[in-house]
């Protein structure tokens, strides 16, 4: 988070954002034309500029293509209106990179042939036809802050992920978009695209480390993390073992059955559309590497733990009529083939969260009396409604269709929107429902309208310190900016609490956006921070906090040693920062009466009465000057200062001067006493009574010999 720009800068920012939104909407008018030329290298604050800056030509990616996905006119909102991408409330755009799968491609245009461009029109619920007038890309373009890019490597897609045009190329795109946006990127990938993303994530990025600092989350559709079972089909020389033999048998059976159908019977949405004719493709470098258990797969490093991986899988189960080896039956008649290309286990391996589209089918093999080519494939949904027309149900679980299914695309939308929403700056409104720590003898909980509910009457309270307070305003009690270094807007605020008696020290709490509401980054009683020799006190009242370049500048008052309860004579300021999950203080400066006393004595020594008078109550300057003239040794001595609670330990002659209600008490407004020792006859001390007149301001209230 940068410091707030001036009015002109803010205005320019708004104009630039508006321009970006307009440009992204141009696709609506252009029917999906490509935005931006690929040769511009100047840094820009908006996605349109990133598209040029991070295009294939600029990055030297050959025939790869990187585009800011245009908004398609035919992708519409539920209301029927056009989709208009917009940034987060603070102007932030987050790059979302779509990475297609093996043998697919990734354009987003009116033809809707891109891997993520087909309408969302399938469901794993039999009989339900989603009514969504947009694609997954369109869906993601609705998310505030999402700048959706497509990465297309299809001219090289038969190659393995370590080819310069695949994983390394995506890595360059990630580096570029990360640098251009200042935001960690989000990746949405299908099939082998997920492995390309894993390659990029685990190899050196712009920082010289892996790209875990450049990628926040990844959503995968049917990515063969541990390989593709279907790729094993071509591995006829390999004994794949019994673990996948059932799946392979079913896939082979369906491949053969589809091959028997006349071309007129093969229609979009039928199971046959979802199957590859893989002999040739599976023999490619990528196909061989995709085989479950391949050394190429084994060489891929696991996802960095800091990257949140949402893995989505198709899970089709086929109920077969008496499968086996002639009269020897299999253990089961139901075979889970995943999405036909990737098993569920492979697609969901090592994910942070997972989602499934689950479909159950019955395969009925009937040999017709007049059937000349053998068995026809009867495929029906296994549901309460037998023989239900397949319609949209056909294929929601199959590999090439996963991004058309309403269930999985909803999961993807949720994952991406949650990630991006976490980049939105924390607001004061959100602090009203912030989580609070266990403190002041109250359990941890969540504020409701700024107050922790559930505390019995007379047992105290926990609330935002600036709520309905005349002592601390909302602006003084909140500070907004990036506190944890992730580039997003966090917040610091002050919590007030007590346990039914006097106030406990104010609490300073740091918050960031979390997966579900605000997340408490760290907290501390303000009295945790003290200069050496100052004990931690009972009270501490924050005067103000403000954001300052990744830190929080804070001012507060607390007791000094010897002070009575609730007397605040020590005024602190410090720079608070998040460090190692804790709040630490630097530049800690404490101001007490002592600085004023020393200045006052210095003025007297310099015979600067005007200056001395400015630090004292009327007439007290001259009074003190007279005393020090009588006892000159005192003026050159170092003073000792006491609080009102020191009356039992300080010299009696001095204690009498401040003893509350005592006959020798000089002035009940006295808060501190500083005494200069005298070696001159007639007085052992020259005492100055001190009054705290404001934040870091004191005056000499009286002067007296003792």
Partner 1 sequence: MRRSRAVLWLACAFVIAAIAGAGILLFTQGRGTGGTAAPTSAKSLSASVAASTMDARQVADALRNLPDDPQTLVASDAQGQVAGRARQAIPPGTTVTPDEKSWSPDGVGGGTMLVTVTVPGHSPVTYDAIMVSQGGQWKVLATISVATSPSTAAVSPSASAS
Q: Looking only at residues 222 through 251 of this chain, which bind partner 1 when binding is defined by CB under 8 A?
A: 233-234, 236-237, 239-242, 244-246, 248-249
Which of residues 16, 26, 84, 365 is near partner 1 by CB under 8 A? 365
CB 95, min distance to partner 1, A: 24
Between residue 259 and residue 318, which ones bind partner 1 under the rule CB under 8 A? 259-267, 269-272, 276-282
CB 18, min distance to partner 1, A: 35
Between residue 89 and residue 108, which ones bind partner 1 under the rule CB under 8 A? 103-105, 107
385 near partner 1, rule: CB under 8 A:
no
CB 92, min distance to partner 1, A: 34
Which residue's entry shows tokens 């480390």? 209
CA distances from 416 to 70, 90, 310, 404, 511 (A): 18, 18, 9, 17, 21
CB 170, min distance to partner 1, A: 18
3-state secondary structure of 290: coil
Question: Closest by alpha carbon to 441, among 502, 498, 505?
Answer: 498
Cβ neighbours around 478 below 10 Å, total? 24
- 167-181 helix and 192-201 helix, angle to the nearest 10 degrees: 60
3-state secondary structure of 85: coil
Nearer to partner 1, 40 or 240 (CB): 240
CB 99, min distance to partner 1, A: 14
In whole angstroms, give the CA distance from residue 418 to residue 216: 11
453 near partner 1, rule: CB under 8 A:
no
**DSSP secondary structure of 414-469:** HHHHHHHHTTSPP-HHHHTT-EE-SBTTB--EE-BTTB-TTPPTTS-EEEETTTT-
Which of residues 99, 140, 185, 320 is near partner 1 by CB under 8 A? 320
Between residue 387 and residue 446, which ones bind partner 1 under the rule CB under 8 A? 387, 389-391, 394
The number of residues that bind partner 1 (CB under 8 A) is 81
Binding mask 141-180 for partner 1 (x = CB under 8 A): -------------xx-xx----------------------
What are the backbone angles phi and psi of residue 68, rounded to the nearest 5°?
-70, 115
In whole angstroms, give the CA distance from residue 562 to residue 349: 62
The token duo for 291 is: 């085989």
Q: What is the dihedral of CA 512, 516, 517, 520, to 10 degrees?
A: -40
Which of residues 31, 43, 302, 324 is near partner 1 by CB under 8 A? 324
**Helix (H) or strand (E) segment spanning residue 100:** none
Length, in residues, of the chain: 706
Which of residues 164, 378, 487, 677 is near partner 1 by CB under 8 A? 378
Nearer to partner 1, 67 or 557 (CB): 67
17 near partner 1, rule: CB under 8 A:
no
Nearer to partner 1, 253 or 413 (CB): 253
Between residue 548 and residue 607, which ones bind partner 1 under the rule CB under 8 A? none
CB 317, min distance to partner 1, A: 15
Nearer to partner 1, 271 or 518 (CB): 271
113 near partner 1, rule: CB under 8 A:
yes
HSE-CB for 159 with a 13 A CA cutoff: 13
In whole angstroms, give the CA distance from residue 110 to residue 29: 12
Pairing mode of beta strands 582-591, 570-579? antiparallel
CB 220, min distance to partner 1, A: 19
In whole angstroms, give the CA distance from residue 706 to residue 637: 15
Nearer to partner 1, 266 or 448 (CB): 266
Question: Using only C-alpha atoms, what is the Rg of the chain?
Answer: 36
Which of residues 79, 327, 429, 663 is near partner 1 by CB under 8 A? 327
Q: For the chain, how far is it from start to end, CA to CA, in angstroms?
A: 58
Which residue's entry shows tokens 């030509």? 57
Nearer to partner 1, 248 or 564 (CB): 248
334 near partner 1, rule: CB under 8 A:
no
204 near partner 1, rule: CB under 8 A:
no
Nearer to partner 1, 103 or 409 (CB): 103
CB 160, min distance to partner 1, A: 14
CB 348, min distance to partner 1, A: 24
129 near partner 1, rule: CB under 8 A:
no
């Amino acid at each position: 988070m940068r410091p707030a720009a001036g009015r002109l800068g803010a205005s320019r920012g708004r104009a630039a954002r508006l321009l970006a939104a307009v440009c992204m909407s141009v696709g609506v008018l252009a029917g999906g034309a490509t935005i931006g030329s690929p040769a511009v290298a100047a840094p820009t604050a908006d996605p349109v500029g990133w598209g040029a800056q991070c295009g294939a030509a600029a990055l030297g990616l050959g025939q790869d293509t990187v585009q800011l996905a245009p908004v398609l006119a035919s992708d519409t909102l539920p209301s029927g209106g056009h989709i208009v991408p917009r940034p987060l409330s603070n102007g932030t755009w987050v790059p979302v990179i779509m990475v297609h799968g093996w043998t697919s491609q990734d354009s987003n245009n009116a033809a809707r042939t891109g891997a993520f461009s087909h309408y969302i029109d399938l469901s794993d619920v039999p009989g339900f036809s989603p009514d969504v007038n947009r694609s997954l890309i369109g869906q993601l373009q609705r998310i505030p802050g999402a700048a959706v890019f497509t990465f297309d490597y299809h001219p090289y897609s038969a190659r393995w992920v370590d080819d310069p045009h695949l994983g390394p190329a995506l890595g360059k795109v990630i580096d570029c978009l990360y640098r251009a946006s200042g935001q960690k990127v989000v990746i949405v990938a299908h099939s082998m695209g997920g492995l390309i993303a894993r390659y990029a994530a685990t190899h050196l990025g712009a920082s010289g480390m892996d790209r875990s600092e450049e990628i926040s989350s990844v959503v995968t559709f049917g990515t063969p993390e541990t390989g593709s079972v279907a790729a094993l089909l071509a591995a006829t020389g390999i004994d794949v073992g019994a673990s996948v033999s059932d799946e392979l048998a079913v896939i082979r059976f369906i491949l053969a059955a589809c091959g028997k159908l006349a071309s007129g019977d093969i229609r979009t949405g039928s199971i046959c559309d979802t199957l590859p004719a893989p002999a040739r493709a599976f023999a490619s470098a990528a196909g061989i590497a995709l085989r479950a258990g391949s050394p190429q797969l084994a060489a891929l490093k696991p996802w960095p733990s800091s990257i949140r991986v949402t893995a989505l899988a198709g899970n089709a189960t086929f109920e077969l009529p008496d499968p086996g080896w002639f009269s020897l039956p299999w253990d089961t008649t139901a075979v889970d083939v995943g999405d036909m290309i990737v098993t569920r286990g492979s697609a969901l391996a090592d994910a942070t969260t997972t989602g499934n589209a689950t479909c159950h089918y019955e395969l009925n093999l009937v040999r017709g009396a007049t059937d000349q080519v053998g068995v026809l494939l009867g495929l029906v949904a296994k549901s309460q409604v037998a023989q239900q027309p397949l319609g949209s149900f056909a294929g929601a679980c199959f590999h090439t269709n996963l991004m058309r299914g309403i269930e999985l695309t909803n999961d993807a939308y949720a994952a991406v929107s949650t990630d991006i929403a976490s980049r939105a700056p924390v607001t004061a409104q959100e602090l009203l429902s912030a989580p609070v720590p266990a403190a002041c003898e109250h359990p941890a909980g969540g504020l409701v309208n700024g107050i922790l509910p559930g505390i019995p009457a007379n047992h105290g309270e926990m609330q935002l310190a600036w709520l309905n307070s005349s002592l601390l305003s909302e602006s003084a009690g909140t500070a907004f900016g990036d506190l944890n270094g992730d580039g997003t807007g966090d917040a610091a605020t002050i919590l007030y609490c007590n346990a039914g008696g006097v106030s406990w020290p104010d609490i300073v709490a740091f918050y960031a956006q979390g997966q579900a509401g605000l997340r408490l980054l760290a907290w501390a009683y303000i009295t945790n921070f003290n200069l050496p020799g100052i004990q931690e006190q009972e009270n501490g009242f924050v005067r103000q906090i403000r954001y300052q370049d990744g830190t929080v500048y804070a001012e507060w008052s607390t007791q000094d040693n010897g002070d009575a309860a609730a007397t605040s004579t020590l005024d602190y300021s410090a720079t608070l920062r998040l460090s190692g999950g804790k709040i630490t203080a630097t530049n800690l400066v404490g101001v007490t009466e002592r600085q004023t006393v020393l200045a006052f004595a210095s003025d007297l020594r310099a015979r600067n009465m005007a200056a001395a008078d400015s630090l004292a109550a009327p007439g007290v300057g001259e009074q003190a000057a007279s005393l020090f003239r009588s006892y000159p040794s005192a003026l050159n001595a170092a003073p000792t200062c006491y609080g009102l609670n020191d009356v039992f330990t300080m010299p009696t002659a001095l204690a009498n001067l401040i003893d509350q209600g005592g006959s020798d008490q000089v002035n009940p407004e006295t808060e501190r006493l500083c005494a200069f020792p005298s070696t001159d006859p007639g007085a052992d001390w020259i005492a100055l009574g001190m009054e705290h007149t404001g934040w870091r301001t004191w005056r000499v209230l009286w002067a007296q010999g003792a």
